[in-house]
Structure 1
Amino acid sequence: MMKLDGITAFVATVDQTSISAAARRLGLAKSVVSERLAELERALGATLLQRSTRRLTLTSAGEAFLPRAQRILREMEEAAAEIDARSGKLAGPLRISAPVGFGILHLGPAIARFLQEHPGIEMSLDLDDRFVDAATGGFDAVLRHGAIGDGRLIARRLATSRRLLVAAPSYLAEHGKPTSLTELEGHTAILYANRSGDWRFAAGSGWTVMRPRAALRVNNGIVMRDAVLAGLGLAMLPTFFLHQEIKTGALIEVDIGWPAEGAELFLTYPRDHGAASKIRAFGDSLRRSFGDPPYWEQP
């Protein structure tokens, strides 16, 4: 019968690439780790690691068993976290992915507050502007702004944001300020590369779509904002990227008579996730930190 300490020894050995390093990480003697590995291999009836004087390599059986072993240990951690949550204590790892720009501008203080509230949690944060699948990407939860539309996921709304069409005073002084969709068509745009380049405006009960000419396409909102500040063109950005620049007058809102499509920030995670209590607590803490309405929407 497989024992959990053997699985722990196996995963630690793979992570550390040697039995000696795994023993140091686990606080055990090297001989104990070696015996636990051997016992696990006997229980499975297969060799998991090919040992040599220089290094350890996974056998085909080891490669097949490793993701299952990692999942077993992760589920054990999450089960322990669930028990802690029922007793009012949250602990253990929490892996979060978030967009780069939003993370840089808004997540530092919010995460610090959450970890002060729950010092037993060990958080890892990965900032990435690419699409991250919350169901299969290896994270416990993913922060995302925009529609979800995935039945595998729970999506908790954290905050809302308007999208504003903005330009620098220098750009408007040179090119004029458009006041209608027709006038807007002659202007240059800074577009977000990871979503449709369309600009959508609410017109009555439907949407009016414009496809502007792009001076720059980039997958980061902060770079988009900086390009607009430099006078390269207009951009449509959520207020959480530019609320300070609007207040100071460094950027000017361009009103063409119709409001732009809004943005919403969600925390998404798989429906059957074992760490749901930690994720919910994290979401609740973020909502308190952002406020309702969020501080980037307050006058």
Structure 2
Amino acid sequence: MDRYQAMATFVRVVETGSFSAAARHLNVGQPAVSKTIAQLEGRLQVSLLIRSTHGLTPTEAGQRFYERARAAIQEADEAELAARGAGAGLSGCLRVSAATTFARLHIVPMLPRFLAQHPGLEIDVILDDRIIDLVVEGIDVSLRMGELSDSSAVARKLATGGRSVLATPAYLERAGEPHGPADLAGHEAVIYSQLPNVWSFTRDGAEASVSVRGRVRVSAAEGLRAAVLADMGLTIASDWMFAPELASGAVRRVLQDWTLPPLDLWAVFPAGRMASAKAREFASFVEGVMARAYSRGA
């Protein structure tokens, strides 16, 4: 049994969740994948996977083996890349996680350009507004916005964007336009439940905070966008989140003479191991995309 190939097969089974999906990725038959895993478990004398109606999940031993095997494969890929030279391009599978709305608007449409630069590369994009465990989920690089809660995170700042109070013209025509932060208390706000409902502003060194109210609370950015675009109220959001609507006039900024704290975009890498060349190259690509497209606050 080829140990490297066995490790690569096991890693792909864990990441895809089934023998059949792993077989499709590896361009082999499902029986070959099943046989490889059985031989691997036989050689290690330990069960690596739990089989159920919901698919395959690693056992405790399997999770430990997955993490080590994946790191070993990355190291081997790095060694080959270094030997061939940086101009040889990247290959293999890159797993990226990102917030759903941000990725849909700004990352996924740009992936054809990145993939064209690296014909041997595949990308798995995991869309989730929640902060996930990068090691457990096998993520190479995560795109996160805002303050990083984990001080031990290995991260690189990619961009800084503006934040604004936003609403549709229809809502502002119905409810009136606020002229200062205090006016927001009388408005209907669409509240993003992952953030506090106290909004803080600055202007000429002065600070103002207001507690907003709203009948609609949403837990994901897609819901926030939908509610605002349905004229249900105003909200605070990054300009990135409503970039198409700001450009078309479907959404307007208000209180523009007041400043909100900016929003940082980070590339976060799994702690405890060196970021792969694929992850570093992707982070640089996203940094370039954001710099070219959005100069505000950069």
> Quick check: TM above 0.5?
yes
* 1:258-277 → structure 2 map (5 Å cutoff): 258-277=258-277
1:48 maps to 47
Runs of at least 5 residues in structure 2 that lack an aligned partner in the other structure = none
Deviations 1:12-31 (A, max 9, x none): 8886569xx79x9656986x
Does 1:68 pair with 2:64?
yes
CA shift, 1:127, in A, is: 0.8
Secondary structure of the corresponding residue to residue 189 of structure 1: strand
Secondary structure of the corresponding residue to residue 240 of structure 2: helix
CA shift, 1:82, in A, is: 0.8
Deviations 1:242-288 (A, max 9, x none): 23323333222111742122111111112433443211100111122
Deviations 1:105-130 (A, max 9, x none): 11123222111111222210011112
Does 1:132 pair with 2:128?
no
Q: 1:5 to 1:207 in 2, by over 3 A?
A: same
Distance 2:48 2:238 in 1: 51
1:219 maps to 219
Does 1:175 pair with 2:171?
no
2:77 maps to 81
For residue 287 of structure 1, what is the amino acid of its counterpart? E
1:295 maps to 294
CA shift, 1:100, in A, is: 0.7
Q: 1:75 to 1:8 in 2, by over 3 A?
A: same
CA RMSD in angstroms comes to 3.6
Structure whose alpha-carbon radius of gyration is higher = 1
Distance 1:13 1:246 in 2: 43
- Contact (CA 8 Å) 2:227, 2:233: kept in 1 or not? yes
- Contact (CA 8 Å) 1:134, 1:153: kept in 2 or not? no
Q: 1:9 to 1:157 in 2, by over 3 A?
A: closer
Runs of at least 5 residues in structure 1 that lack an aligned partner in the other structure = none
Could you tell me the TM-score, scaled by structure 1's length? 0.78
2:193 maps to 193
- Contact (CA 8 Å) 1:221, 1:237: kept in 2 or not? no
- Contact (CA 8 Å) 1:165, 1:234: kept in 2 or not? yes
Could you tell me the TM-score, scaled by structure 2's length? 0.78
CA shift, 1:149, in A, is: 4.0
1:232 maps to 232
Secondary structure of the corresponding residue to residue 279 of structure 2: helix
Q: 1:251 to 1:63 in 2, by over 3 A?
A: closer
For residue 173 of structure 1, what is the amino acid of its counterpart? E
Secondary structure of the corresponding residue to residue 241 of structure 2: helix
